[in-house]
Structure 1
């Protein structure tokens, strides 16, 4: 059996805002946008009455699925810390680390911690920072791209 990566799905509040953020800040391009059949979505996610519109975006080999649910009415907003079980983040290589942070803060994304230089692993010697989008609650890790 062959297994390959398909996409990362992110539930967002405002689909237009999230699409613009990933396009303008991180260079993703939209290649699909459409609502889904509520009966199918409800069956897939195990939530009765679910209604959703979905955008697929791509940057190189990385694909994102942005989902904006309009129902059910009792949807909730969770903001786990990066160390909490179930927390996830999207990591993006950036060619100009300092400029990327400045652009992200102007969007605005909020720093979760401080920029640091990594001391081990495949990104050793590079700088990283965790930032959170206040609208989506999503944590994004910006990684200084290695010199060519």
Structure 2
């Protein structure tokens, strides 16, 4: 059986704000739509499903991120995920320059949970609390200097 990763989907409370954050990091908007109807109810398993969605892609063409903001039913706010909680954990991106990526994140009010770590002089990496509380890992490969 063949399998490939299609995308990672994340519910957000402000679609436009989340799009701005991720496009400033370098992703591009591949498409936007508003979805509802019986097919959406069946696919998602949620009656009355009505959402605004955006599909974003990484510059290399391999990664895709689907962001969605519920119109109906109302989104249910939750506490931001902690790094040690079970379940959907984070979305990770390789960046050419972690300092530049952090400056971009900071313009959106998003900052590292603790700081920037150096893993064996191979990676500089950090977890950033992104829009809607999403944990975003940024990693710079130091071997590609």
TM over 0.5: same fold?
Answer: yes
SS at the partner of 1:16? helix
Deviation (angstroms), 1:141: 0.6
Q: Check 1:130–1:32 CA distance in 2 against 1; reply closer, same or farther (3 A cut).
A: same
Deviation (angstroms), 1:106: 2.2
Query: What is the TM-score normalised by the length of structure 2?
Result: 0.88
Cα distance in 2 between the residues matched to 1:66 and 1:138: 11
Aligned to 1:85: 86
Aligned to 2:135: 139
Contact 2:12 2:69 in 1 (8 A): yes
Contact 2:13 2:75 in 1 (8 A): no
- Of 36-45 and 92-101, the range deviating more from structure 2: 36-45
Query: What is the TM-score normalised by the length of structure 1?
Result: 0.86
Cα distance in 2 between the residues matched to 1:44 and 1:81: 28
Cα distance in 2 between the residues matched to 1:33 and 1:47: 21
- Of 41-50 and 80-89, the range deviating more from structure 2: 41-50
Unaligned segments of structure 2, at least 5 residues: none
Contact 1:38 1:52 in 2 (8 A): no
Is 1:19 the counterpart of 2:19 in the alignment? yes
Cα distance in 1 between the residues matched to 2:140 and 2:73: 40
Return structure 1 stretches of 4+ with deviation > 3 angstroms.
none
Cα distance in 1 between the residues matched to 2:104 and 2:66: 23
RMSD value over aligned CA atoms? 1.7
Unaligned segments of structure 1, at least 5 residues: none
